[in-house]
């Protein structure tokens, strides 16, 4: 797990937000103890921050925020892209040059090649923010099932985002008011459904959604995937269904073993954890 945070000052006078972004970032040191980074655009409109937990490519080449060759695209990324090797091969075949072995850099080049459509090509758990200096647009995306957290607020002509709400609350322009509707949902259903959080005007990006914020501040949130988009379960015998479920679980576990560091498991002894550990071994 890593931590991301940032500020897009699209609507007010440019200010140096590096100190605030560092405070936001460093409230989440527990998510990324291995490294930290910061990027601020030359016009001081955009600041991206990152705390790194090194999983893939442990070298300094994995430092974030990460950019493309000409510095026009910057990304801060949390998560793992399970199909990054397949995507990398495709991108190399199309002429892209990589400087690291990270899955982060795959997103950068995939965006160069496919634009916003790159998000639907990613198989993994992720939350990231990508700044496109040419288009003057910030792209923020969350994985299909919302495994990686991602929160945002808009106040005073600024869009602020982070992996945790307490990071956003470090900004002096963000109020700490309770949202009574979210509180009612929590007391009724034991959760706050997206996009609500317990803080008024602080929201979570729903799973399988992306946010686009251009320089005019006209934020758009779009769904890029639905579980209903897949093929229908084929008719067949119970035995065939059992074999298909086993194959899906085996492939699901296998692709999550991608790592340059040792992998462990929490084994409670129940059916799900026992199945995972048996397949891992």
Compute φ and ψ for 60, nearest 5 degrees.
-60, -15
Closest CA to 123 of 85, 162, 164: 85
Which residue in 2, 22, 118, 213 is the catalytic one?
Answer: 2
CA distance 209 to 45: 24
Closest CA to 119 of 215, 203, 222, 257: 222
Q: Is 2 a catalytic residue?
A: yes
CA distance 145 to 29: 25
Give the SS3 label for residue 84.
helix
Token output for 25: 């970032």
Please name the helix (run of DSSP H) or strand (run of DSSP E) that holds residue 87, with its range, or none: helix 84-93
248 contacts: CB under 8 Å, gap ≥ 6: none
CA distance 281 to 275: 10
Task: Indicate the Cα dihedral angle 146, 201, 9, 170, nearest 10°.
Answer: -80
Token output for 137: 């647009």
Query: Which class for 281: exposed (0-12), middle (13-18), buried (19 or more C-beta within 10 A)?
Result: exposed
Contact 119, 126 (CB under 8 A): no
CA atoms lying within 13 Å on the CB side of residue 73? 19
Centre a 10 Å sphere on the Cβ of residue 79 and count the other Cβ atoms it contains: 22
Residues belonging to the active site = 2
């Amino acid at each position: 797990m890593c931590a991301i945070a940032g500020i897009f000052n699209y609507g007010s006078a440019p200010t140096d937000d590096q100190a605030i972004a560092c405070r936001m970032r460093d409230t989440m040191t527990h998510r990324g103890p291995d490294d930290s980074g910061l990027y601020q655009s030359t016009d001081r409109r955009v600041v991206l921050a990152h705390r790194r937990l090194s999983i893939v490519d442990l070298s300094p080449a994995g430092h974030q925020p990460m950019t493309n060759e000409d510095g026009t695209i910057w990304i801060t990324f949390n998560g793992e892209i399970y199909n990054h090797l397949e995507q990398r091969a495709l991108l190399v075949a199309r002429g892209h040059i990589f400087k690291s072995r990270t899955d982060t850099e795959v997103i950068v080049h995939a965006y160069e090649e496919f634009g916003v459509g790159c998000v639907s090509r990613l198989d993994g758990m992720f939350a990231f923010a990508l700044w496109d200096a040419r288009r003057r647009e910030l792209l923020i995306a969350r994985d299909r099932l919302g495994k990686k957290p991602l929160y945002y607020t808009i106040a005073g002509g600024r869009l602020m985002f982070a992996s945790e709400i307490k990071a956003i609350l470090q900004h002096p322009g963000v109020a700490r008011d309770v949202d009574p509707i979210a509180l009612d949902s929590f007391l009724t259903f034991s959760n706050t459904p997206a996009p609500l959080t317990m803080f008024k005007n602080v929201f979570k990006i729903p799973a399988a959604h992306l946010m686009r914020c251009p320089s005019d501040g006209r934020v758009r949130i779009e769904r890029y995937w639905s579980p209903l988009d897949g093929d229908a379960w084929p008719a067949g015998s119970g035995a065939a269904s059992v074999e298909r479920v086993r194959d899906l679980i085996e492939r699901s576990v296998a692709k999550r073993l991608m790592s340059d560091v040792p992998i462990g498991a929490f084994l409670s002894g129940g059916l799900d954890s026992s199945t995972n550990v048996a397949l891992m071994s």
